[in-house]
Amino acid sequence: MAKRDYYEVLGVPKNASKDDIKKAYRKLAIQYHPDKNPGNKEAEDKFKEATEAYEILGDDQKKSAYDQFGFAGVDGMAGQGDFSQTFRGFEDIFGDFSGIFDTFFGGGGRRSSGSGGVRQGANLRYDIEIPFKDAVFGTKVEIQYTKNDACPTCKGTGAANGSGKKVCPVCQGSGQVRHSQGFFSVASPCHNCRGEGYIIEQPCRDCGGGGTQRKRQKIMVTIPAGVENGKRVAIPRQGDAGPGGGPPGDLYVFIRIKPHDYFERQDLDLYCAVPISITQAALGAEIHVSTLDGKNLKVKVPPGTPNGRLLRIRDEGVPSGTRRGSFWIKLLVRVPEKLSKRGRELLEEFSKTEGENDSPKPIALADMGEQ
Ligand SMILES: [Zn+2]
Ligand SMILES: [Zn+2]
């Protein structure tokens, strides 16, 4: 199915304010919320669609990427992250829907570890921008972020010293309650235990029974050489701690690469353009060109070089395992804009010696200048 434009999904104009976007999403989210439309697949799809649109348009950075490049600009940004993370800040608008988002999106935060119903914590997302050169050769970046960490007092269990868990009396441990809706019976997360299936007899004082606390943490992230724009680096177990002592989720570091002033990249090859004079092009020359890592290369310009000729230097491109791509130098022949008196005389003499064709035959545009 073709994707609908995010502005169309939310029914707002392109110049809508942040507030209008939020209001439009709130209206749709309430209308199509799975709580209000149990078992209704169409409402569920509409709700997901609106949520994805809001995930992009509600975030200044993602919105501007979407405005500039459309879906390509935000590819992989929506839906891959953790929704409970996105919504953590919106409890004021929606009330506590966490139980619903959990079961609804079924993301990485919901894998069961198989031991007594404890669940894995949420995956987290962190965005960084790195210089072009660091993306080519790899780097280490220290990042700081806040996550839910296991409460040290109760070791993440949420239970005060010595007390245990008991099966939730409302759902008998299933974590779900069923209601009748006409002919249907519909399951939704149990509110008494927030879908956990058990309740803690004596909640830990330090974390209120949740088993987690917010913690700021610093970690070193290794960015591999040759990383591509928009790719992510997964750091296992550095996401949120699981509720009730469950295993932590993962941290995903999304990478954006700052463009370089003059180097460009295509897969494993690097490109740059270098101006040369008409005499260097005609007579041939030896020039010096810096590589991205600052090496000074001696490069031979062959006599009779046409404008746009590409010179290939092997093994000076992007590293990948044991090999490297090529470095391509595009030679741009510069015609002098101003001539000295002497320069003019010499060129006039050259013109006389060589003769000029005053009726040149047209050639195909594709052959023009470059080769
Ligand atoms: Zn605790
Ligand atoms: Zn329950």
Instruction: Give me the pLDDT at residue 117, please.
Output: 54
Query: Which ligand lies nearest the alpha carbon of 154?
Result: 1
Instruction: Give me the pLDDT at residue 367, please.
Output: 64
Instruction: Give the Å distance between the CA of 103 and the centre of ligand 2.
Output: 14
Instruction: Give the Å distance between the CA of 236 and the centre of ligand 1.
Output: 23
Q: Ion ligand 2 — residues with CB under 5 Å? A: 168, 170-171, 190, 192-193
- Residues forming beta bridges with residue 254, ordered by sequence position: 127, 232
d(CA 217, CA 205): 23
Instruction: Give the Å distance between the CA of 87 and the centre of ligand 1.
Output: 23
What's this model's pTM, rounded to 2 decimal places?
Answer: 0.59
Instruction: Give me the pLDDT at residue 116, please.
Output: 47
Residue-wise DSSP of 289-342: EE-TT--EEEEEEPTTPPTTPEEEETT-S-EETTEE--EEEEEEEEPPSS--HH
Query: Which ligand lies nearest the alpha carbon of 166?
Result: 2
Instruction: Give me the pLDDT at residue 82, please.
Output: 38
Query: Which ligand lies nearest the alpha carbon of 158?
Result: 1
Instruction: Give me the pLDDT at residue 1, please.
Output: 53
Query: Which ligand lies nearest the alpha carbon of 210?
Result: 1
Instruction: Give the Å distance between the CA of 173 and the centre of ligand 1.
Output: 22
Instruction: Give me the pLDDT at residue 227, please.
Output: 94
Q: Ion ligand 1 — residues with CB under 5 Å? A: 151, 153-154, 204, 206-207
Instruction: Give the Å distance between the CA of 153 and the centre of ligand 1.
Output: 5
Instruction: Give me the pLDDT at residue 288, please.
Output: 97
DSSP-derived 3-state class of residue 162: coil
Instruction: Give the Å distance between the CA of 188 and the centre of ligand 2.
Output: 10
What is the CB neighbour count within 10 angstroms for residue 245? 21
Residue-wise DSSP of 70-114: GGGGGTTTSSSS-HHHHHHTTHHHH-S-HHHHHHHH--GGG-B-S
d(CA 120, CA 86): 17
Long-range contacts of residues 3-12, Cβ cutoff 8 Å, at least 24 apart: 3/71, 4/49, 6/52, 6/53, 6/56, 6/57, 6/66, 7/53, 7/57, 9/49, 9/50, 9/52, 9/53, 10/50, 10/53, 10/54, 10/57, 12/57
Query: In what side-by-side order are the strands of the sheet with 251-257?
Result: 124-130, 251-257, 232-235
Instruction: Give the Å distance between the CA of 178 and the centre of ligand 2.
Output: 11
Instruction: Give the Å distance between the CA of 91 and the centre of ligand 1.
Output: 22
What is the tally of helices (H) and strands (E) in the chain? 10, 17
pLDDT digits (tens), the chain, 371 positions:
567 899 999 999 888 888 899 889 888 888 888 777 877 888 888 888 888 888 889 888 888 888 887 887 777 665 443 343 333 333 333 433 333 333 333 333 333 433 345 678 999 999 999 999 999 999 999 999 999 999 999 888 888 887 788 889 998 888 888 887 777 777 888 888 888 888 888 889 998 888 899 999 999 999 999 999 999 999 999 999 987 788 899 999 999 999 999 999 999 999 999 999 999 999 999 999 999 999 999 999 999 999 999 999 999 999 988 899 999 999 999 999 999 999 999 999 999 999 899 999 998 887 655 44
From the list 301, 304, 303, the residue with the least C-alpha distance to 330 is 301
Residue-wise DSSP of 216-269: EEEEEEEEPTTPPTT-EEEETT-SPPPGGGPPP--EEEEEEEPPPSS-EEETTE
Instruction: Give me the pLDDT at residue 323, please.
Output: 92
Which residues make Cβ contacts (< 8 Å) with residue 13, sequence separation at least 6? 7
Instruction: Give the Å distance between the CA of 170 and the centre of ligand 2.
Output: 5
DSSP-derived 3-state class of residue 351: helix
Instruction: Give me the pLDDT at residue 85, please.
Output: 36
d(CA 305, CA 171): 81
Query: Which ligand lies nearest the alpha carbon of 206?
Result: 1
- Residues forming beta bridges with residue 313, ordered by sequence position: 327
Instruction: Give me the pLDDT at residue 77, please.
Output: 63
Cβ pair 29, 47 in contact under 8 A: yes
